[in-house]
Copies of this chain bind each other. A is one copy, B any other.
Amino acid sequence: MPRKKSKPMSPGALSLVAARFKVLGEPARLSLLNALMQKDLNVNELVQATGLSQANVSKHLGMLADTGFVSRRRHGLFTVYSIEDQGVYQLCDLMCDSIARRLGNDLREIA
């Protein structure tokens, strides 16, 4: 039973939305966000939390900041990052729900 709720998106809105989903679609960036969801962290702490290289972390953080998902503030030598777009919590929760449903459906198909 289809739901047919939301209004259709314009082509412009579509590419904006897609671009934003794509930012969340990289494991490295999602890993950074995941770490920041626990507490604000500086770059070196994020390097240790994720196991990524410093250059790679900085690059992805730059992209996350440019797209407004995180914000940064300097604290002496350090740059501390925090979640800026609180929507990422719900987005990740929803996606996890979606995966849980999918796993349940798959199991049913096998059985």
Which residues does A use to contact B, with CB under 8 Å? 2-6, 8-9, 11, 13-27, 29-31, 34-35, 37-40, 67-68, 82-83, 85-87, 89-99, 101-102, 105-106
* One of B21, B23, B93 near A30 (C-beta < 8 A): B21
- Do B17 and A99 touch across chains, with their CB atoms under 8 A apart? yes
* Copies of this chain in the oligomer: 2
Known: A25-B24, A31-B14, A94-B87. A6 touches B102 (CB 8 A): no
Interface pairs A-B: 5 shortest CB-CB: A22-B25, A21-B25, A21-B24, A87-B98, A25-B25
User: In the complex, what residues of B have CB within 8 A of residue A29's CB?
Assistant: 18
User: In the complex, what residues of B have CB within 8 A of residue A40's CB?
Assistant: 2
Known: A25-B25, A85-B102. A6 touches B92 (CB 8 A): yes
